[in-house]
Chain A
């Protein structure tokens, strides 16, 4: 018995000594994590998590969203026990309102957390990040750029056209609305069907649910502004004049043009009743020649076209503007690409249940260092990438691995990295933070068709068709403004457009004017409420940003 006691005592003694051996004398802890998106659990021997555990003494226990986000958050709030690192996904406002997260500002100082301090205080970002009462609950997971922003392609809104149409047109690219539809008309006249006999559809408009931006958003871009949602804002006006554009004469021009094209057979009736799946199916078949959309919205269609080798049917993004004839002879300059918008209120917060908030902030701080960012975004040198003359490079195999879910589970700390504060843009040595943005890698991965296509167009990368991103307006992008205070009017405002715009596009040209007037008359009350609200909100944001 005595012997046993002695052994036990010595084991305990040894055990108490062990943590001392850990870096900076911090005892190992297990941190509970919730992610507001579905995801895959990493493998037990994941190399990045192992490095974090070895060097920082932190092990993660990750829970991914399974089922409905709002219901899951609601249940967690009712339970009153939270994971240490809490990512509320797209409903993180719910967590802030329920006072589940702690204020991070007291933990962030220039001395103790220089990386984080620089991250949120540079360019007065802090003014936009804090709540009305001056608290910071979440550091954005995306949208904070270092050095220059690399833009190889347009991921946002644009008019799209199949590359084969451009190739058919001797690689001449349309720049205005009229040129665009004229090209599709000519192409359709020459090639009414695909080689196997399916008729082409000239122009598709997705109108389903929240994706109706394909129907209601184009006018602002044709007028030369980036995406502000449903309002057109004059950034040169000191008062930031804000107006809804859909009820203005310059919007009528676009829908009248669509009406004309509808009667020429470019637009099918069925486009107004199709759902998202049918839309993606049509795009994936390669039968749709053009549409207005946002690149990320039809990524699955692009992927399936590329997988089946139909590169000629993939899409080129075009920054179209109105022809001068539509806007009193004014020549409009396009501004589709905008400065980066911070993904405010999205990412990890630290919950009130967390017993070691200081250590969590320190974790964010450490992972934000250049070395860790390289590890998290690129992996291990020699294994996941190589360096030649200071440029970070990947072989095709290394790059393809990155999109393999099975490889990711063992070799990336995706679940943590996605919600943590991170560096984007370029490193101080000129390499891109995101390997996908590294120009050498971007071109290396491009299909042969695309390489030839862009060479024939005389550009290096798809983004060269666009003007450089303009400086982000002080209010950010107006579509981010929460419309909760006027939601009933806002819903009316949208529903009236959903109902009227397809009617206007498909009506007899003789009735177009009457229909347009009826539409404007019906939408004016809600549009007025919406305009007043947005004008006030924009001014509020501008004021916050400027002082």
Chain B
């Protein structure tokens, strides 16, 4: 999706009406460059949409798409009739919003702080250390978290020795904590990675602006507030809109690895639900999984366009 943005943006900014083919001819190099991406999207993102048909079938692999019985909206009726699916929607949205807010705030904050650091070695070190977890597999991250948050793990030991709690907190087994645990783990894993794009945006701010602000008597905080933050606003908006489009994607691995019987009501996202119902028994229900996935995609598209519309209305930079 990001590639599409980069290619299209310059072509849209001039709002004057020109002949479509005229501008197409002028930009033929760009067009050729975008062909592989277009093919990629067609092949891997649009091609599989055929499979959505199975959401309206009682799909049996043996009979295939042509031979399976059509059932109309029965699969969707089944899904919405189930409490665990409604809970899955709630959990997905809750964890997404927590991830979005925590993720964005932490990334912007760390980027601003790093931007203010003058010692290059220190800055580089912090950057490397914070983005390395991004490359760790979720399996490793989750098992580390399970040790850290265990009843006798370091966090509980610290809380106990500080006298903040009397009994160890059962972080991993209380449903109420689950969403926040996922949020915290995601921040730890992704914060460094998410900063990169903001730091890049900050380097493109004209140093003259900072000098001018200093001459006008702006202190460090004022420079951050009036130069740095406005400087990354457009990047921020574009990322925000894209992330809103991904609100239905709260993740799958982390919840699947961290869940247990005790936290089930809070842990299962739509993806986990789809997996369990698709393959969870000796009679796979591919159609339930497809229907759940389709619902997720459609809501995602609506959210994306909605956020874009709102940004347009507020006269902010937009994605499309």
Contact = CB atoms under 8 A, between A and B. Distances in A.
Interface in B248-265: 257, 260-265
Contacts of A116: none
B173 A499 contact: no
Contacts of B170: 269
Contacts of B280: 487, 491
Contacts of B265: 499
Contacts of A215: 261
Interface of A is mostly: helix
Residue among A215, A484, A495 with the highest chain B CB neighbour number at 10 A: A495
A212 interface: yes
B216 to A, nearest CB: 56
A98 B283 contact: no
B72 to A, nearest CB: 19
Contacts of A501: 261
B112 interface: no
Interface in B121-176: 143, 146, 150-152, 168, 170, 172-173
Contacts of B264: 495, 498-499
B191 to A, nearest CB: 25
B151 A502 contact: no
Interface in A474-498: 482-485, 487, 490-491, 495, 497-498
Given A498-B261, A499-B261, A499-B264, A273 B173 contact: yes
Contacts of A273: 146, 172-173, 260, 262-263
A487 B263 CA distance: 22
Contact size range, A: 20 to 34
A268 B170 CA distance: 11
A416 to B, nearest CB: 28
Contacts, number: 70
B150 A270 contact: yes
B276 A484 contact: no
Contact of B281 (A97, A208, A483): A483
Interface residues of B, number: 25
A207 interface: yes
Nearest to B260: A273
A404 to B, nearest CB: 31
A92 B151 CA distance: 43
Contacts of A277: 143
Given A97-B62, A98-B62, A269-B151, A487 B260 contact: no
Nearest to B147: A278
Nearest to A91: B282
A207 B263 CA distance: 12
Given A499-B265, A502-B173, A278 B151 contact: no
A93 interface: yes
B61 interface: yes
Residue among B84, B150, B170, B262 with the highest chain A CB neighbour number at 10 A: B262
Interface of B: 61-62, 84, 143, 146, 150-152, 168, 170, 172-173, 257, 260-265, 276, 280-283, 285
Given A275-B257, A484-B283, A502-B173, 6 more contacts: A74-B61, A269-B173, A270-B151, A272-B173, A273-B173, A487-B285
13 contacts: A97-B62, A208-B260, A215-B261, A269-B151, A269-B170, A269-B173, A274-B146, A483-B282, A484-B282, A487-B283, A491-B276, A495-B261, A497-B261
- 5 nearest A-B pairs in the assembled complex, by CB-CB distance: A498-B261, A484-B283, A487-B281, A273-B172, A273-B260
